[in-house]
Amino acid sequence: MEDGEVALPEALPDWDYQLDLHLRRRVQVDIDRTRRQCDLPAEAALSISAVWTSTGSNLSGPAQQIRLAESGMPTVELDFQLRGSDLGGLLLLNTALVLAERRGDARPASPRRAGSILWSDRATLRLQGDAPQFPMAVIDFARTSFPDDAAWHLQISGGLEHATMGALLLLINERNSVTATAFQNAGKPRPVDRIVLSAVYADAARIMMEHALAHDEFTEDADFPDGSLGATLLSLCDRLFPGQSITDIRLRQRQSPALFASDLQAAVKIFEVS
């Protein structure tokens, strides 16, 4: 991160999709002891491997793999960067000690396939804070069907069972320099940027809640898959209207849309910038 190296926290509430993550981890491996305990010969090749998975984007991939020395107790430093546009929700970071090569002469009880896991550890990092997080793109609205002078547009597609990262897309009009600059500065926003981001958040929350309430299957008892649009909307509803039933919220939204819009402004604490 730009502000320097910090220990891995439980969450990054101010993270956004334009912020890449630079991660480091040191692992010390007793190679000779590992081979003895796994009943491997002295020449068996070992590697340390790091793999990441993002629940918000439903993406995963290898982060880094380092082949270990032939013997001793080396300290290995994993050092890699993940693109913010690939992330979201809960980031799972798996580190594993693996057999680097297939062994045709392995004993019956010892690992033989390349990639066999000899040891593993998992760390988690929650990237979504109080604000809804979704992919975004900066485009020229003049080349779209959107009004040329609109500042942003939240696009929602697919059903509530679809993955959030594939269902939501926030489009920013590059012609609106105030809004485009605010998102460019989202990692370190100025006071004016915070006001713009607050307005976008409030509008996005309203659109998302109206979209959710338009579906009769959107209820407290609904069992949407983790990482789905429905699960994201349920979580948003719980944060904005704690202790209130979805039936009551839906009734208020349909009977008095203007009052519901004011309720949302209060719930998101619009323009309350620090």
Question: 233-268 pLDDT, tens per residue?
Answer: 999 999 999 999 999 999 999 999 999 999 999 999
Cα(236)–Cα(244) distance, rounded to whole angstroms?
13
Q: Is the pTM of this model over 0.85?
A: no
21-126 adopts what CATH topology? Immunoglobulin-like (2.60.40)
The answer to whether the beta carbons of residues 149 and 175 sit under 8 Å apart is yes
Q: What is the pLDDT of residue 191?
A: 92
Which residues of the chain are modeled with pLDDT < 50?
1-2, 129-132
Q: What is the pLDDT of residue 131?
A: 44
Closest CA to 94 of 47, 52, 46: 52
Structural domain spans, the chain: 21-126, 136-268
Q: What is the pLDDT of residue 93?
A: 95
Q: What is the pLDDT of residue 189?
A: 86
Q: What is the pLDDT of residue 274?
A: 54
Q: What is the pLDDT of residue 129?
A: 46
Q: What is the pLDDT of residue 31?
A: 94
